[in-house]
Amino acid sequence: MDTHDKYVSSFFPSPQAGVRDMEKYARDNGVPIMEEAGIQFLMQLIRMKRPSRILEIGAAIGYSAIRMAEAYPETKIITVERDERRYQEAAYYLDQFDLSGRIELLFGDALKLRDEIYAKGPYDLLFIDAAKGKYRTFFEQYAPAVKADGIIVTDNVLFKGWVADPTQANERMAKTAREIRRFNDWLMNHPDFHSYIVPVGDGVTISTKLDRKQGKGKEFT
Ligand code: SAH
Ligand code: MG
User: Per-10-residue mean pLDDT for the chain, 221 residues long?
Assistant: 91 94 97 97 98 98 98 98 98 98 98 98 98 98 98 98 93 96 98 97 97 63 45
**179, 216, 146, 37 alpha-carbon torsion, rounded to 10°:** 60
C-alpha of residue 34 to centroid of ligand 2, in Å: 5
Domain ranges of the chain: 3-211
Atom index in ligand 1 nearest the CA of residue 110 equals 23
Atom index in ligand 1 nearest the CA of residue 109 equals 23
126 with 143: CB under 8 angstroms?
yes
Q: Is the Cβ atom of 23 under 6 angstroms away from ligand 1?
A: no
Q: Is the Cβ atom of 60 under 6 angstroms away from ligand 1?
A: yes
C-alpha of residue 84 to centroid of ligand 2, in Å: 18
Q: What is the pTM of this model?
A: 0.96
Ligand nearest to the CA of 202: 2
CA distance 182 to 188: 10
Q: What is the pLDDT of residue 211?
A: 82
Q: What is the pLDDT of residue 74?
A: 97
- For the domain made up of 3-211, the CATH class stated in words is alpha beta
C-alpha of residue 19 to centroid of ligand 2, in Å: 17
C-alpha of residue 138 to centroid of ligand 2, in Å: 14
210 with 191: CB under 8 angstroms?
yes
Atom index in ligand 1 nearest the CA of residue 63 equals 8
